[in-house]
Amino acid sequence: MKVTDTTQIIQLDMTKLFRLKVPEGKLRKEFIEKLRLMPEVLYAEENGTVAPLAVPSDTDYGSQWSLNNPVNPGADIHAEAAWDIFTGNPNNIIAIIDGGADINHEDLNAKIAEADTGFGWDGHGIHVAGIAAAESNNTQGISGVDWQARILAKRIDNLSDDADTYQAIIDAVNFSPNVRVLNHSWGTLFSNQAPGRYSTTIAQAFAYAYKANRVSVAAMGNHQITHNGTISYPAGFNNVIAVGSTNDEDIIATSSVQGANIDIAAPGVGILSTFTGGGYSFQSGTSMASPHVAGIASLLKGYRPNLANDDIENIIKISADKVGNDPYLNGFNNVMGHGRVNAAEALTLLQQNTLNQFTATGGTVASSTGNYSNVFYATSGLAPGTYIVKRHEVTKAVTFPSSFCDIVGAWGRGVGSIGYSVASPNYGEGFCEVIPGTQTSTGATLRTYVYQMYNVLGQSLGYYPTTPANVTFAYTVLGKTNTFAISGPDSFCDNAANYSVSNIPEAGTTINWTATGNTTFSGSTTGNTVTIVNNTLEQIVLTATIVTCGVTHTITKNILVGMPPVAAITGDQFATTGVLYGCFIQEYPEATAYEWFVTNGDATVYHDNTNWIDVMFEHDGYYIIQVKISTPCGDVWSEKLYVNVSEENQFRTITYSSFPNPVDSEITIQKIITRNKKRIKQIVQKNLALFC
């Protein structure tokens, strides 16, 4: 598959994946371990199914408090303030990988792009779909987080094993490039129904989605008390946004799984949403928290379609409210992650700042490992397998191409980077990060990794994905840029004009104005706006000196002031009847139209809306040629050109002579016009300064 930037991404070859049936118990575990030791086997693991995360029912909370909390104002996702900015993009599709959806539900039927037949898991998928993107503002039912996005409902409740779950995710990604976000309110289970089973097969599906620039959101899981410290998958994968659950007091739910892999928290206790039988139900769990984040991710992607999946994840983290009872270290804790999501703040960050996506190439090896073995899957140009590798940390100090007054955040983007992470196994995903502590107002140090690869015989296979000198770092900076500009007309006539500086990044910025020529300012020459009064025809340069964020910036604007001058037409004073004659006037840069007039006789004019014309005179006589130039300041008439038109002029010759010869400090030019065998002399005296 090719993503929009033409990058080729690799999908797992499922023809080499085998399902083996063995009895449960100790024999199964021993068999898996023996398979793993065989060099012919790339990986072996317990197969299994997936299940919805536990959803304890709680009906004590008000209708959709998660969007606007009436009991504890602000302890919600701030949906109403977000909708004041943006309600969604109908081109977006959120894939709900779950138990299916009810295509006939009154609050879902108009939003379903496609759905697998039927539904299971007791309506779990119906409830999840409604939270993310139920029909909204339609006087019935509930409102989804994203009012406009459509829903792709893929069933995994009725599938047999990991290979089928893998295929459901792949099919969702391949359904349409408009599938921007995938929600996963489920987790893998061991054969004893305990959570926390890592599936290489499913992990490859998530790597495929990540490389296709999709956002994957997953529920952290429940049963915090009985499974404390257990990482649930897919929430444990590095390429997903892992979501915990909060109650209406902005406290983590007692059942919400905690841990270092959590990214964010969202309301998940007593959430009202669509349900079976065309009705509605209150349900609780991280399954309900996850689609809130999926809906926000879809809003962000709809608002700025150029956002990468890593951009969306980082904006959601940065904009989160630091709530709860636990302290945050560097903006993070194991209970709430980066905090409770705030949809309004996330959109505001995009609305009030500039998001710049940059790339840099080439790096320097900062450190290297010794040789060790690592498994690689779905890597372009490399067969899946175990390799002997030497990993190199490649870094590059970059100066941001744009000047920033205030930086909200900077981060790496995997999609667009040519360099891998340290993950083992490695799924061939691009990787780039800003090394913590290196970001300044002008730059940062970036990091990625490359591998020297050897087969099991020790034969060199070269560098993957490229050499250190050829890595590509893709990174993003979000902040207020110093991209100032002076706005105002490029010219004005004999009255006043206002000019101002746009994109002022912060309060307290000072601006001082100056200008060249005979410029007069009306009022103050400090501040965001200035008024110029100038009646003299001239080209002036207006300068704004801006001091902001402790840095001085100077910007200028060239302005033409006053009416354009009257000019003479350049052309011969003699013309011949019936012979094409040409003349022109200097080009006026500010001209909007030219209109030529030929009087005192019959004539045909060509090219009369340019600064030159061709004329065919019909009769002998004196003709007058004049042109009217239209400008923003009004019409300007040229001087008149008198042309003597005669058939005899075709016999006219012009010769020039000069004396003395050789020339002295003064030279006389004699122009001799001969017509009808009669000599007519026109003598022009010119003093020429001669330089050697």
Residues belonging to the active site:
98, 124, 287
Alpha helices, H only, 143-270:
162-175, 200-211
CA distance 663 to 668: 9
Enclosing H/E stretch for 96: strand 93-98
CA distance 483 to 499: 16
Structure tokens at 170: 């792949």
CA distance 194 to 367: 40
CA distance 136 to 457: 61
CA distance 566 to 380: 70
141: region left, alpha or beta (phi > 0 left; psi from -120 to 50 alpha): left
- Cβ atoms of 152 and 94 within 8 Å: the answer is yes
CA distance 118 to 511: 65
Structure tokens at 617: 């005179």
Work out the angle at residue 124's Cα, subtended by the Cα atoms of residues 123 and 127, and round it to the nearest 5 degrees.
90
Going by C-alpha positions, the residue among 414, 390, 413, 398 that lies closest to residue 468 is: 390
CA distances from 599 to 59, 70, 552, 616, 617 (A): 93, 83, 59, 13, 11
- Buried-state track 341-358, b at ≥16 Cβ within 10 A, e below 16: bbbbbbbbbbeebbbbeb
CA distance 204 to 188: 14
Position 455, amino acid: N
Burial class (CB in 10 A: 0-12, 13-18, 19+), 374: middle
Going by C-alpha positions, the residue among 172, 295, 283 that lies closest to residue 241 is: 295
Work out the angle at residue 98's Cα, subtended by the Cα atoms of residues 94 and 100, and round it to the nearest 5 degrees.
85
Residue 661 half-sphere exposure toward CB, CA atoms < 13 A: 5
Going by C-alpha positions, the residue among 340, 352, 348 that lies closest to residue 77 is: 340
DSSP bridge pairs for 557? 542
3-state helix, strand, coil in the chain (%, to 5): 15, 35, 45
What lies within 8 Å, CB to CB, of 86 at 6+ separation is 299, 302, 303, 347
Enclosing H/E stretch for 30: helix 26-37
Burial class (CB in 10 A: 0-12, 13-18, 19+), 117: exposed
Q: How many CB atoms lie within 10 A of CB 54?
A: 15
CA distance 54 to 43: 30
**Strand 653-659 relative to strand 667-675, pairing:** antiparallel
Tally: H helices and E strands in the chain: 8, 39
